Amino acid sequence: MFTSPLLNNLIEFLPKVRGKYQKDEPMSKHTWFAVGGPAEILYHPADQEDLKYFLQNLPNNIPIYLLGGGSNLLVRDGGILGVVIKLDNKNFKQIEVGDGWIKCGAGLPNIDLKKILLKHELGGLEFLCSIPGVIGGSIKTNAGCFGSEIKDVMLCAEVMNGLGEISTLTPKDFNLSYRNSLFPDDWIILSMTLKTYHEPKAKIQQKLEEQKNYRIANQPYNEKTAGSTFKNPQGLKAWELIQKSGCAELQIGGAKVSEKHNNFLINTGNATAEDIEQLGEEIIARVKEHTSITLEWEIRRLGIRK
């Protein structure tokens, strides 16, 4: 049970918005790991104006946290205090195609780009279609695979700050680096404009299929996971270090190391967030002992540990 609310009944102190509030919403329903305690409040803004009104009328000191597709998150079992915001209304999933560019709303699932790329014969963004999650999350994590990352293809992005002001920013403003970014905590990404070019449909289709087949062959597919658990240390592979350190068959409670890819952790069905976090910590300790290297979490952990 969720035992430590921020205010007695936070929902009563929140602005009257057009969007939807959900109280004590289990984050296990919103994360790929399918674990995690409740968000005190989950807010689904109706549109940008609604989000602006919310931010401008939010009482001081109420923490907010942006949730994308939940594919890079380990939400702890004690849940999240404050308001979690999810941009999943259709107004945050709009797409606009121009000459050499495509603008996507922050709430658009990356996979939805697929049909647009094929329809308009747009190349260079196939890699993004295979990364779970939504556009906003992909900027925050500088998502990448198959030799490309957001940093290479982003032209600009619209952001709303904590005062509800919107600005258009360049990739430099987000300080994008390997699976990371550095920008003020109160920035909410609203959309991203991506660079693209004409590519015949057949070639796009071929790339998409090759990438999908690669994932099916080399990574856990259709599993409860959050992708690569640890960042690859410079010039090294995290999965190799994990394997060499004797962690390939580790299991704690319902959490285990994937046999297919040792840098993926899997919820086998009944894992708690604690099982997964403890498994990660055990791997870090063993890899450190065997190789003197300290692995760094790529997955973002948040919320209260029970």
Query: Is residue 259 annotated as a catalytic residue, yes or no?
Result: no
**CA 123 and chain centroid, separation:** 23
| Residue 71 binds to ligand FAD (criterion: CB under 6 A) | yes
Asked if residue 131 binds ligand FAD (CB under 6 A), the reply is: yes
Q: Which of 19, 78, 124, 136 binds ligand FAD (CB under 6 A)?
A: 136
Stretch that binds ligand FAD, among 16-24, 59-67, 191-199, 271-279 (CB under 6 A): 59-67
- Least Å distance between CB 280 and ligand FAD? 15
Active site residue 298: yes
Task: Give the single-character DSSP code of 214.
Answer: H
Q: Applying CB under 6 A, does 32 fall inside the site for ligand FAD?
A: yes
- Active-site residue, 138 included: no
Q: Shortest Cβ distance from residue 127 to ligand FAD (Å)?
A: 8
User: Cβ 273 to ligand FAD, closest distance in Å?
Assistant: 14
| Cα–Cα distance measured from residue 93 to residue 95, given in angstroms and rounded to the nearest whole number | 7
Task: Kindly report the number of other CB atoms within 10 A of residue 205's CB atom.
Answer: 14
Q: In whole angstroms, what is the distance from residue 84 CA to residue 10 CA?
A: 12
The residue within the footprint of ligand FAD, chosen from 79, 105, 124, 132 (CB under 6 A), is 132
List binders of ligand FAD among 183-212 (CB under 6 A). Answer: 188-189
Shortest distance (Å) from residue 102 CB to ligand FAD: 17
- Please report which residue ranges of the chain form alpha helices under DSSP H: 48-57, 113-120, 126-129, 135-140, 150-153, 201-218, 238-244, 273-291
Indicate the angle between helix axes 201-218 and 113-120, nearest 10 degrees.
150
Is 73 one of the binding residues for ligand FAD (CB under 6 A)?
yes
Joined tokens for residue 257: 């190391």
Parallel, antiparallel or unpaired: strands 95-98 and 166-169: unpaired
- Total residues at the site for ligand FAD (CB under 6 A)? 31
- Exposure string of 154-192, with b = 16+ CB inside 10 Å and e = fewer, is bbbbbbbeeebeeeeeebebbebeebebebeeebbbbbb
One-letter amino acid identity for 302? Answer: L
Using CB atoms within 10 A of its CB, is residue 67 exposed (0-12), middle (13-18) or buried (19+)?
Answer: buried
Q: Does residue 66 interact with ligand FAD by CB under 6 A?
A: yes
Nearest to ligand FAD of 138, 262 (CB atom): 138
Judge whether 252 and 286 are in contact, CB under 8 Å: no
Piece of the chain touching ligand FAD by CB under 6 A; list 19-27, 142-150, 249-257, 268-276: 142-150
Strand partners, 169: 157
- 68, 112 in Cβ contact below 8 A? no
Least distance (Å) between residue 8 CB and ligand FAD: 26
Of residues 217 through 276, those in contact with ligand FAD by CB under 6 A are 225-227
Stretch that binds ligand FAD, among 7-15, 18-26, 130-138, 191-199 (CB under 6 A): 130-138
- CA-based nearest residue to 227, from 89, 73, 4: 73
State yes or no: residue 140 binds ligand FAD (CB under 6 A): yes
Which residue in the list 28, 138, 149, 179 is annotated as catalytic? 179
Residues 272-301 that bind ligand FAD (CB under 6 A): 300
Q: How far is the CB of 2 from ligand FAD (least distance, A)?
A: 20
Residues catalogued as catalytic: 179, 228, 298
Give contact residues for ligand FAD (rule: CB under 6 A).
Answer: 32, 65-73, 87, 106, 131-134, 136-138, 140-141, 143-145, 179, 188-189, 225-227, 300
